[in-house]
Amino acid sequence: MSHVHRPDGRLRLAATLTIGAAAALTQSLLSLFAMLLVALLAMAWLAINRRIVIADFVRRLLRVNVFLAIVWLTASIDWQHIAIDETGASLAAQMSLRVNIVTLAASMLLLRMSGLDLGRAAVGLGLPVALGALLAQLTRQLSLLTETKTRLDTAMRARAYQPKFGFRTLQVSAQMVAWLIVHALTRAERLSLGLRARGWNTTRWPIRENIAWRSLPKSDWSILVAVAIIIGACLLIPDVGAH
């Protein structure tokens, strides 16, 4: 178990959203390029100093870049005249930089954050408590339902089932979906009965409260301040293409 202190979830989530918003609002390719450069340097620093395995980051980046390759192929080339479409190329370049910036930033800032932490952090930033509680419950129920699905997968493999394109595979998939729903409903009924049997009839949402903002250590705020300074500096870079 790691004892490394991680900044408060609200500040990490706020920093992620700030970067997402700044990237969405920025048109300048140079500013976006600078942001991406900083994000890559931050990833390298994390990999070296915190010994973080970057394979997961790389996997996430590869996935989004496959989509971006399709964007480049469809938007930047005028296939009728086999020529470069400048408007499309500029749009594809902006998109590529934005997608890579936000993917990298979210991967680093929300590193090792659980669904429970995310729900609490989001409520701390103003999301309705009901949604935060739903997210926290989803995290708990997902692990249990995943076990059920794994058991079903194993049982199907034991009967020599192999998914292929055909009606049989679709039928088995439909059975799996129906079984998961029936299992979820049965479990929900059992949960509800158990809670009522214990006299649980609350109107309170089951979610842990956040620490008061003023109680947060000053070092936690540094993450948000650093993000604000970096974004500000990147936005100040003049756009060479602008007239």
Partner 1 sequence: MHIAEGVLTAPTLIATASFTAIGLAIGLRRLTPQTLPTAALFAAVFFLVGTIHIPIGVGSVHLILNGLIGLLLGWLAFPVIFVALALQALLFSFGGFTAIGANTLLMALPAMVAGLILRPFLQGHTASQRRLLTVGALAATIGIFGTTLLAAIMLWSTGGEALLGLVTLLVAAQIPVWIIDTIVTALAVGMLGRARPTVFSTNA
d(Cα 20, Cα 78) in Å, to the nearest integer? 30
In whole angstroms, the minimum distance from the beta carbon of 32 to partner 1 comes to 9
**Whole-angstrom Cα distance, residue 183 to residue 59?**
33
Paired sense of beta strands 77-78 and 83-84, if any: antiparallel
Cα 39 from Cα 60, distance rounded (Å): 14
- Shortest distance (Å) from residue 117 CB to partner 1: 9
Judged by CB under 8 A, the stretch of 40-48, 82-90, 210-218, 219-227 that binds partner 1 is 82-90
Euclidean distance between CA atoms 166 and 57, whole angstroms:
35
Window 96-125: residues binding partner 1 (CB under 8 A): 97-103, 106-107, 110, 113, 115, 118, 122
Task: List the interface residues with partner 1, window 184-223 (CB under 8 A).
Answer: 184-185, 187-188, 191-192, 201-206
C-alpha 96/C-alpha 67 separation (Å) is 9
Under 8 Å between Cβ of 61 and 103: yes
Chosen residue from 41, 45, 69, 140 binding partner 1 by CB under 8 A? 140
Give the residue from 91, 101, 82 showing the smallest Cα distance to 33: 101
Nearer to partner 1, 46 or 95 (CB): 95
Q: CB 219 → partner 1: shortest distance, Å?
A: 24
Element (H, E) at 77: strand 77-78
Contact between 155 and partner 1 per CB under 8 A: no
In the complex, least distance from residue 89 CB atom to partner 1, rounded to whole angstroms: 9
Is the Cβ of residue 192 or residue 217 nearer to partner 1 in the bound state? 192
Residue 189 or residue 217: which is nearer to partner 1 going by CB? Answer: 189
Smallest CA-to-CA distance from 124 within 203, 220, 208 is with 208
Q: Does 130 bind partner 1 (CB under 8 A)?
A: yes
Residues 35, 175: Cα–Cα separation, whole Å? 47
Q: Which of 95, 211, 230, 235 binds partner 1 (CB under 8 A)?
A: 95
Pick the binder of partner 1 from 58, 138, 155, 225 (CB under 8 A): 138
